[in-house]
Amino acid sequence: MTDRGFERIAFVASGADDAREARSKLAQRYGGVAVEDADVVVALGGDGMMLLTLHDLMGRNVPIYGMNRGSVGFLMNDFSEDDLPERLAAAERTVIHPLTMRARDRDNQVHVAKAINEVQLWRQTYQAAKLKIEVDGKPRLGELVCDGVLVATPTGSTAYNLSAHGPLLPLASPLLAMTPISPFRPRRWRGALLPDRAAVAIDVLEPEKRPVAAVADNTEFRDIKRVEIALDRKTNLVMLHDPGHGLDERILAEQFGW
């Protein structure tokens, strides 16, 4: 048993052969319990597996220690079969909060989903989307013509947000990144940094002619006419990283091209 009380370890793996093989070897070496009985969950795979595990454990406050058996692994620790209890005991905790997305479709059905990385709106057809953006009830952009727009957490700022030329956010920063995807009008608008207490509302203009989907991480709803986004401070998600390799360090290193 470690100093933190991580006596009961659950191992979960993606469908990749390397991940499943690692789970088998680790469970044989260290034992393993069901996820619902665990003090800590070790996730084996890539960043997609970490996000899936965070979603599966949302609201349970069980720490997750990821080891990279995937392709990217930005959120993961290096893989090793050795010294797992010691690594868990020494690991640094990172607590993050998800976004809550409330999306209303053209039939006035409301869909609710959580996002650890980002909430995005994306055009469904060849027609560009037309969007109106409000922050805390105040109109900020009357018409954005674009492929889409996203709102990213600091954790998610390194993912799709970065690929869309959005800013990288230090993990502890009280900010959200709003980033347009292929903006056409206004052409020079490159997004905004918002306080993480902000309530964002995005209305879809001409939703019948220009249908838009709303996506919270990997949960998608189509034919949306309005989306409301806010940070869920009541939900804590805990990730564990080896000392010196936490998300703060990785985000800082990413800004200098590592």
- Kindly list the domain boundaries of the chain, sorted by start residue: 9-96+235-255, 99-231
47 is catalytic: yes
Question: What pLDDT is recorded for position 39?
Answer: 94
CATH class for the region spanning 99-231: mainly beta
What is the fold of 9-96+235-255?
A: Rossmann fold (3.40.50)
Q: Are domains 9-96+235-255 and 99-231 of this chain identical in fold?
A: no
Is the pLDDT at 217 greater than 90, yes or no?
A: yes
Is 160 one of the annotated binding-site residues? yes
Is 159 one of the annotated binding-site residues? yes
Is 208 one of the annotated binding-site residues? no
Residue found by looking up tokens 């080891």 in the block: 67
Catalytic option among 3, 39, 47, 105: 47
Question: What pLDDT is recorded for position 71?
Answer: 80
Question: What pLDDT is recorded for position 216?
Answer: 98
The rounded distance, in Å, linking the Cα atoms of 32 and 41 is 10
For the chain, give the mean pLDDT: 93
Q: What amino acid occupies position 133?
A: I
- Phi, psi for 103 (deg, rounded to 5): -115, 125
With beta carbons less than 8 A apart as the criterion, state whether 105 and 225 touch. yes
Segment 175-201 shows an average pLDDT of 96
- Phi, psi for 206 (deg, rounded to 5): 55, 55
Cis peptide before 186 (omega within 30 of 0): yes
Residue, of 1 and 62, whose pLDDT is higher: 62
Is 126 one of the annotated binding-site residues? no
pTM score, whole prediction:
0.89
Question: What pLDDT is recorded for position 257?
Answer: 66
The rounded distance, in Å, linking the Cα atoms of 166 and 254 is 13
Residue 137's pLDDT band, with cuts at 50, 70 and 90, is very high
Residue, of 32 and 119, whose pLDDT is higher: 119
Is 173 one of the annotated binding-site residues? no
Residue 5's pLDDT band, with cuts at 50, 70 and 90, is low
Is the pLDDT at 1 greater than 50, yes or no?
A: no
With beta carbons less than 8 A apart as the criterion, state whether 9 and 31 touch. yes
Tokens of 26: 């680790």
Question: What pLDDT is recorded for position 2?
Answer: 42
Tokens of 60: 């349970």
Q: Is 37 helix (H, G, I), strand (E, B) or coil?
A: helix
